[in-house]
Structure 1
Amino acid sequence: MSESLAQALARVGDPVELLRNVDYPAFTFPVHPEFSNWRSESRSWNETVALMDQSHHMTQLFLEGEDVVEVLSGIAVNTFTNFRPGVAKQLISVNHEGYVIGDGILFHLAHPTAQGERIVLIGHHVLIDWVRFHAERSGKDIRTRLEGNSHMREGDPTFYRYELQGPRAHDVLEKLLGGPVPEVKFFHIHDFAFAGTTVQGLRHGMAGQPGFEFFGPYSEGERVRAAILEAGDEFGIVRIGAKAYSVTPLESGWVPTPFPAIFTDDPDGLFAEYREWLPAARAGSIGGSLYGAVEDFYLTPYDLGLGRSVNFDHDFIGKEALQRIAASPARRKVTLIWDAADVAKVVESQLTPGAPAKYLEFPKARYGFYQFDEVRQGDRRVGVSTDAGYVAFDQLYLSLASLDVDVPDGARVEVLWGEEPNSRKSNVEPHEQVRIGATVAPAPYHEYARTTYRDL
């Protein structure tokens, strides 16, 4: 029997020490690393049109039963008043103090799966595990089917998923349809007829650019992809590999893996029960310079730019706490533009005698499942930097961060890069901690992704 998170915590004594030193497998997308080269691939969704294969990399939870919405509503900050077939939403859960546990995309399918399911939650396993726990203990009419990503699952997934994005995405779809592209609202699902079948398309884009996420039965995926590539050839379509795909959150402004606020006990003992239920192997790992109490890693929806999704029209875990937080959020989501000279010094340290800085990966710097680096102004910690990497289109090293609200755009800060002391994770080599200068900018970084993208 696998060790539970509660047992692992009893053995180690502190959640930060446990997750900072655990050997957790590196997260990789189970698709080709590169089809051409990741620099050209990651420019394509800004310049022409990109095709991303999302069929294999996310966990999926299929749900059915009369009480699905009732159970989900009780653990979600989102309203369900408009949730109906053909609509998707970003599902967000918080703990009793209003801190985020996780988020994912919830689809209400217009067409049931072969197993008869109409609702599916897609994302990292963190939120999905929390939903499974509540479904099992609810006593309600809710049934679940867990489908791991292609690293964790044998056989084919239920759906193919292809993301078509970029300024020429509309042209490609128009050619596929042989006529005008219908208007579809953001996060709505529409049926398209091409490749000799019905293809469902969610109006959404991982990189904050125009396009759709197409999906359907996996058995039809090859011919659908072939049709998209053929139609896109004259518009410069580019297939996207795992390396380029990994940087899309930096442009869309989505923090992929916020730290789950499951380590603080509530009066009802719910979170103690959850830690007994959750296998320690699914708890993740911490990477980065932030080192302190576990509460230092907690973030609210407002810290992550998710405040627009919060709705107090229903009862949910953490509602009262979140109402207090909403009145005066302490932090906001921003982009940090890392100084080129300081990034170059980190690279140079690998090529000169002496202790190097922590190795800086291109295109993605994250080396923990939860990446948390301190952001400082002088001796004052003003926030945390999370996802970090190189955006080839802008030729900038960027990170997504949550900073105190009194730190304005244009302000100068420093990212503390590397661990002190070095953790015992096998993917952390001996290194010295350094400071990387950065400038605060809006998130998402591109104005189109901040404004026009959601309104189309």
Structure 2
Amino acid sequence: MENPVTITEPASAQSDSIDGVAPGTPIHQVLFTPDSPIFEGANVFTDIGFGLVPAEYSTTREEFLASRDAASIGFVLSNSPVYDVSGPDAATFLNSVCVNKDFGLLEQGSSKHVVICNDDGYMIADGVLLKVDDNHFRTYWLAPVLAFFLDKSDLDVHGTWVQDEYFFQIDGPKSKSIIEKVTGADLSDLKFAQNKVITLAGADATVHRLGMSGALAYEIHGPSTHAREAYRQLRSEVEAVGGKPQGFWNYSLVNHTVAGYPNQVIHFIDPVKDSWPELTEYIAHIIPFDIGLHGSASDDPKNAWVTPFDVRWGYLVNFDHEFPGKAALQKIKAEGSKRTTVTLEWNADDIGAVYASQFRGADAVVYDPMSNDPVISVDDYHKGRMRIDYVLKDGKKVGLATGRTPAFIENTMISLAYLDRELAVEGTEVTVLWGDVGHPQIEIRAVVAQFPYYKGEFRNEKLDVSAL
């Protein structure tokens, strides 16, 4: 089954294109090329499946600290799968597929975090949905799963792939003032998870108050015809106030772990190719590589699968409608979810022992060096990799640790972990079993810490920006 791809009319077709970019040009042909401004100043690069992108501009530490003190600008999500759902039955269709409900009641300019599950209740897609207009919704990261369901639907609903939209993130306490200065817009009335249309680089753009570091942040979406100029203007102002451009490593790993936002491929894997044969066939034409597991818990692929209850998203599940996985999730709720997400702080002395173990010849413990590098990359065989390790208590397996990263403010090493609920109490002592299957392994002491790890005054969900 081939994937139907349609490019939408640019958001501002009335505006002249910039940098010679033709209307409808796919965004990866605009931003992810060597002459793109996103490559200016980058010193480390990584392949995330479609070519090299900047991994670091200065250092991951400096980029993260800049986003806490001033601001950062990120480009990573411009590779997001964007898919529009429209038509008289658009809301009805979404209600039939997602664990959420009442999409028809969503106000224009608002958004939802949306989850789709398989019959066993495991998440096979999660992302953001914005209401563009009556019977018109734009989704991020829900396709291609959402497209699979729509292609099978008998409802009066239409799906459109959007390939010509840029997607930048401005993150940090000065993010609001930066966007306001560049665009002339007033964002004081924009609450968390709301969006509005502004003008940027001479074209209409949508600014959405959302981000993945936990702090005040905004996403900006606009047409590929103006992507480069929009990036230049925003980056110039970010750097003018002491901020920095943000590479792939900082955005994908550090931000999500510190903020307490479990992320696909970093903290869990969506079993899209292990749910239904028809979906497996459909996805194979769209996603050319698989995600392989590393770490002590890589002996069972299901270790990386999660339900909404595992990641503290049970509040999104509405049982007052039919959707895939409903019976399984009802059973989990009735019996009580066995695990939940926590933050772990890793013992510094044990981390030092792991570093030392890299230099013990044949007895070396570490297969993946414990460095600042991310736990995801794409190797020469186009196979992604994610690290997941067992969490132990008194020698018994009680959870799974994923997404380890330095926390640069606190100067600790942390990770997220899916832990047995009775142990999910701050101060509980556990160990992380470090080392790949078939290699020597070592236990690293860890303690359950606050979740989310970042609860600062600029926490996005709670901050009143009208006072800024």
Please give the alpha-carbon distance, in whole angstroms, between the structure 1 residues aligned to 2:161 and 2:376: 27
Please give the alpha-carbon distance, in whole angstroms, between the structure 1 residues aligned to 2:80 and 2:69: 27
Counterpart for residue 88 of structure 1: 111
Given candidates 93, 97, 101, the residue that maps to 2:120 is 97
Contact 1:208 1:449 survives alignment (8 Å): no
> What secondary structure is seen at the aligned counterpart in 1 of 2:330?
helix
Please give the alpha-carbon distance, in whole angstroms, between the structure 1 residues aligned to 2:321 and 2:404: 35
Counterpart for residue 168 of structure 1: 174
Counterpart for residue 209 of structure 2: 203
Counterpart for residue 263 of structure 2: 256
Give the AA of the match of 2:372. F
Matches within 5 A, 1:66-215: 66-79=88-101, 80-109=103-132, 118-123=136-141, 127-146=142-161, 157-178=163-184, 180-215=186-221
Matches within 5 A, 1:47-446: 47-79=69-101, 80-109=103-132, 118-123=136-141, 127-146=142-161, 157-178=163-184, 180-246=186-252, 247-257=254-264, 258-261=268-271, 271-279=276-284, 281-291=288-298, 295-327=302-334, 328-356=336-364, 357-359=366-368, 360-366=370-376, 369-407=385-423, 408-421=425-438, 431-446=439-454
Q: Count matched residues.
A: 403
Please give the alpha-carbon distance, in whole angstroms, between the structure 1 residues aligned to 2:249 and 2:220: 21
> What secondary structure is seen at the aligned counterpart in 1 of 2:84?
strand
Please give the alpha-carbon distance, in whole angstroms, between the structure 2 residues aligned to 1:355 and 1:158: 51
Which stretch shows the higher mean deviation, 350-359 or 337-346? 350-359
Which stretch shows the higher mean deviation, 247-256 or 404-413? 247-256
Alpha carbons of 1:383 and 1:452: their partners in 2 closer, same or farther (altered >3 Å)? same
> What secondary structure is seen at the aligned counterpart in 2 of 1:86?
coil
Give the AA of the match of 1:412. E
Please give the alpha-carbon distance, in whole angstroms, between the structure 2 residues aligned to 1:220 and 1:70: 34
Please give the alpha-carbon distance, in whole angstroms, between the structure 1 residues aligned to 2:51 and 2:333: 35
Alpha carbons of 1:119 and 1:292: their partners in 2 closer, same or farther (altered >3 Å)? same
Shift of 1:284: 2.9
> What secondary structure is seen at the aligned counterpart in 2 of 1:406?
helix
Contact 1:285 1:369 survives alignment (8 Å): yes
Shift of 1:133: 1.9
Please give the alpha-carbon distance, in whole angstroms, between the structure 2 residues aligned to 1:262 and 1:210: 32
Please give the alpha-carbon distance, in whole angstroms, between the structure 2 residues aligned to 1:441 and 1:369: 26
Please give the alpha-carbon distance, in whole angstroms, between the structure 2 residues aligned to 1:193 and 1:57: 22
Runs (4 or more) in structure 1 with deviation over 6 Å come to none
Q: Give deviations 1:142-170, integer Å, cap 9, x for gaps.
A: 343446xxxxxxxxx41111111111222
Shift of 1:186: 1.6
Please give the alpha-carbon distance, in whole angstroms, between the structure 2 residues aligned to 1:28 and 1:394: 34
Which stretch shows the higher mean deviation, 381-390 or 180-189? 180-189
Shift of 1:240: 0.8
Please give the alpha-carbon distance, in whole angstroms, between the structure 2 residues aligned to 1:344 and 1:361: 11
Q: Give deviations 1:396-444, integer Å, cap 9, x for gaps.
A: 22111111110111111111122222xxxxxxxxx42222211111322
Which stretch shows the higher mean deviation, 315-324 or 372-381? 315-324
Give the AA of the match of 2:149. H
Please give the alpha-carbon distance, in whole angstroms, between the structure 1 residues aligned to 2:299 and 2:61: 36
Alpha carbons of 1:404 and 1:451: their partners in 2 closer, same or farther (altered >3 Å)? farther
Give the AA of the match of 2:348. A
> What secondary structure is seen at the aligned counterpart in 2 of 1:341?
helix
Contact 2:207 2:221 survives alignment (8 Å): yes
Q: Which runs of 5+ in 1 are unaligned?
A: 3-24, 112-116, 148-156, 266-270, 422-430
Please give the alpha-carbon distance, in whole angstroms, between the structure 1 residues aligned to 2:420 and 2:458: 20
Please give the alpha-carbon distance, in whole angstroms, between the structure 2 residues aligned to 1:361 and 1:230: 31
Give the AA of the match of 2:436. E
Shift of 1:97: 3.1
Contact 2:309 2:337 survives alignment (8 Å): yes
> What secondary structure is seen at the aligned counterpart in 2 of 1:448?
coil
CA RMSD of aligned residues (A): 3.0
Shift of 1:26: 6.0
> What secondary structure is seen at the aligned counterpart in 1 of 2:114?
strand
Alpha carbons of 1:362 and 1:161: their partners in 2 closer, same or farther (altered >3 Å)? same
Give the AA of the match of 2:375. A
Give the AA of the match of 2:270. P
Asked if 1:46 is matched to 2:68, the reply is yes
Shift of 1:294: 5.3
Alpha carbons of 1:294 and 1:358: their partners in 2 closer, same or farther (altered >3 Å)? closer
Please give the alpha-carbon distance, in whole angstroms, between the structure 2 residues aligned to 1:110 and 1:51: 28
> What secondary structure is seen at the aligned counterpart in 2 of 1:223?
helix
Give the AA of the match of 1:362. N
Please give the alpha-carbon distance, in whole angstroms, between the structure 2 residues aligned to 1:234 and 1:292: 48
Q: Which runs of 5+ in 2 are unaligned?
A: 3-46, 378-383
Q: Percent identity, aligned pairs only? A: 26
Please give the alpha-carbon distance, in whole angstroms, between the structure 1 residues aligned to 2:130 and 2:299: 37
Give the AA of the match of 1:58. S
Alpha carbons of 1:242 and 1:350: their partners in 2 closer, same or farther (altered >3 Å)? same
Please give the alpha-carbon distance, in whole angstroms, between the structure 2 residues aligned to 1:297 and 1:166: 31
Give the AA of the match of 2:367. K
Contact 1:31 1:56 survives alignment (8 Å): no
Please give the alpha-carbon distance, in whole angstroms, between the structure 1 residues aligned to 2:159 and 2:351: 46
